[in-house]
Structure 1
Amino acid sequence: MDTSLPALFLSHGSPMTALEPGETGRFWQRLGTAIDAATGRPSAILAVSAHSLTREPALLAAPRHTAVYDFGGFPDALYRLRYDAAGDPALATRVQALLAAEGIAAHRLDDGGLDHGIWTPLRWIYPAADIPVLPLAYVPTWRPAEQFALGRALAPLADEGVLIIGTGSITHNLRLLGRFVANQGVGQPEMAESAEFRAWMAARSAARDWDALLDYRSSAPHAALMHPTDEHLLPWYVAAGAGGRDATPQRLHEAVTFGALGMDAYAFGPGAARLAEALQASSLQVDAASM
């Protein structure tokens, strides 16, 4: 088996997916098993989240992590959930070296903690919390091309058993979500602008049109509406850079909540196609079992 792990982008959605997994949570529940089957179980996870932002790249190299409840106004049950995972100080040293080789300085901090963009999906993907996690806080003012270069520097990790996960949202405009939550609810049809943006990302990805993707702000339909600020999309580019330009990105999952919050997931790199095949096989097994 070629054990080169894909890099992933996961739209993490509302923190409530930790309690109410829905369609995307069910996908996450299959994802960990599919990764293990396709390329082998990761030895560690490097996580780049839209909720861990810094002025310069920073690695949270604590030996242990717990869930950070970086949100408010949710049911008490959500704040009682735990995700206690080991950290990976040794991996932090390796990542610093890889980044330094490409002229990217990264700070190393002894702090720990997994924001909800990390622990919410991991709670379903690897529920035993038995894989060490290293958060990499990134710079939200860097352009997509700079985020891609950050990911490209991390590419060797794919052959070293490290699963790179970027988490954010394929569409993210909280003003729109507020309107849907107040008036229509989670199950309402997707607004046309969101559907057009997600379709553009999928089509340009399938075509490996990196020039358009890296210039999405000017090229994609409704880019500013779907991302008034783009910190929730930028982890997509880190994961894409880790996968490289040669392999075709794979959209593994597509869904929408609240009419405008895209929940799409992508895989990048040589292992992406194998992961897509493993997920398809697991989906067929689930369908057969339910018949």
Structure 2
Amino acid sequence: MTRTLPTYFISHGGGPWPWIPDMRAMFASLEASLKQMVADHGETPKAILMISGHWEEQDVAIMSSPKPPMVYDYSGFPPETYSITYDAPGAPDVAARISDLLTEAGIKSKLDPNRGFDHGTFSVMEVMYPEANVPLLQISLLKSYDPADHIAIGRALAPLRDEGIMIVGSGLSFHNLRLIRGGGEAPSAQFDAWLFDAMMAAPSERRDAIINWETAPSARICHQNEDHLVPLFVALGAAENEPATRIYHDEGNVGMPITVSNYRFG
């Protein structure tokens, strides 16, 4: 693979949705967009680096197991969803490369040989690569959620794009569970419109907008905690001077009155 790969910010849906038929049907438009993302990508990547909204540490942690376990980080789902597996191999060689890149950029990190795939990773991967044949690893968010620091992490990891590594930020552009079934319609639409304008802006303006995202309309209503937005910062940082394309837009996500969007950079 010789081309520079794009980076992505995607919604990972709710819990173990691909394993629950009724729920999978509700997420049909998201599933179609994820499959289209793979089709558009063409060649199978050497590995996939996922930045999920479900793992955060004081410093960047890098999954380094050759066979990562599962992390069932959800509750209230059918018993069988706590024994599902996504048996993709890990990527210790890529983990070591990430560690080197972060060190070169002056960013503290550590290898984590015990961390497993959380649902922000395995749910979308089950749809994108159901054969589980692509090496897969995650890095953590920083507990600080600092936008500039996460953009810097992405910037440090940008060389991976020339090495066949797909970089994917997995979160959600609206994440307020209290309002997801009612009351989130207007706030999510307002924030989504702002996010689209920010993503379409010139690189320097886009970066400034993201660093100051809390000033956006309804920002803190949509993201009381920004863990599901922060993966966007890393994906953007790894392609900060390249154009953005909205690759998924849903104004009635799974029948709920919220607006969400996914983006590709590069």
Note whether the superposition's TM-score is higher than 0.5. yes
Shift of 1:111: 1.3
- Structure 1 residue runs without a partner (length 5+): 270-291
Q: Tell me, yes or no, if the aligned pair for 1:88 and 1:132 is still in contact at 8 Å.
A: yes
Instruction: Please point out which of 199, 211, 234 is paired with 1:214.
Output: 211
Q: Tell me, yes or no, if the aligned pair for 2:188 and 2:260 is still in contact at 8 Å.
A: no
Aligned pairs, number: 254
- Structure 2 residue runs without a partner (length 5+): none
| Per-residue CA distance 1:8-59 (angstroms, 9 max, x = gap) | 11111211432314210122122212212xxx32100111111011111111
Is 2:45 the counterpart of 1:32? Answer: no
What corresponds to 2:227 in structure 1?
A: 231
Describe the SS at the equivalent of 1:156. Answer: helix
Describe the SS at the equivalent of 2:10. Answer: strand
Shift of 1:80: 4.0
Matches within 5 A, 1:1-291: 3-18=3-18, 19=20, 20=24, 21-36=27-42, 40-177=43-180, 180=181, 191-208=185-202, 209-210=205-206, 211-218=208-215, 220-244=216-240, 246-255=241-250, 256-257=253-254, 258-260=256-258, 262-269=259-266
Return the alpha-carbon distance in structure 2 between the equivalents of residues 65 and 33 of structure 1: 26
**RMSD across aligned positions (CA):** 1.8
Q: Tell me, yes or no, if the aligned pair for 1:66 and 1:85 is still in contact at 8 Å.
A: no
Amino acid in structure 2 at the alignment position of 1:126: Y
Return the alpha-carbon distance in structure 1 between the equivalents of residues 188 and 2 of structure 2: 36
State the TM-score, normalizing by the size of structure 2: 0.90
Q: Tell me, yes or no, if the aligned pair for 1:169 and 1:263 is still in contact at 8 Å.
A: yes
| Per-residue CA distance 1:260-282 (angstroms, 9 max, x = gap) | 3x54211113xxxxxxxxxxxxx
Identity score, percent: 34
| Per-residue CA distance 1:65-88 (angstroms, 9 max, x = gap) | 243211111123433432111011
Q: Tell me, yes or no, if the aligned pair for 1:140 and 1:234 is still in contact at 8 Å.
A: no
State the TM-score, normalizing by the size of structure 1: 0.83
Tell me: CA distance 1:241–1:77, structure 2 relative to 1, closer, same or farther (3 Å): same
Q: Tell me, yes or no, if the aligned pair for 1:45 and 1:134 is still in contact at 8 Å.
A: yes
| Per-residue CA distance 1:140-176 (angstroms, 9 max, x = gap) | 3131111101100000000000001111110111111
What corresponds to 1:273 in structure 2?
A: none
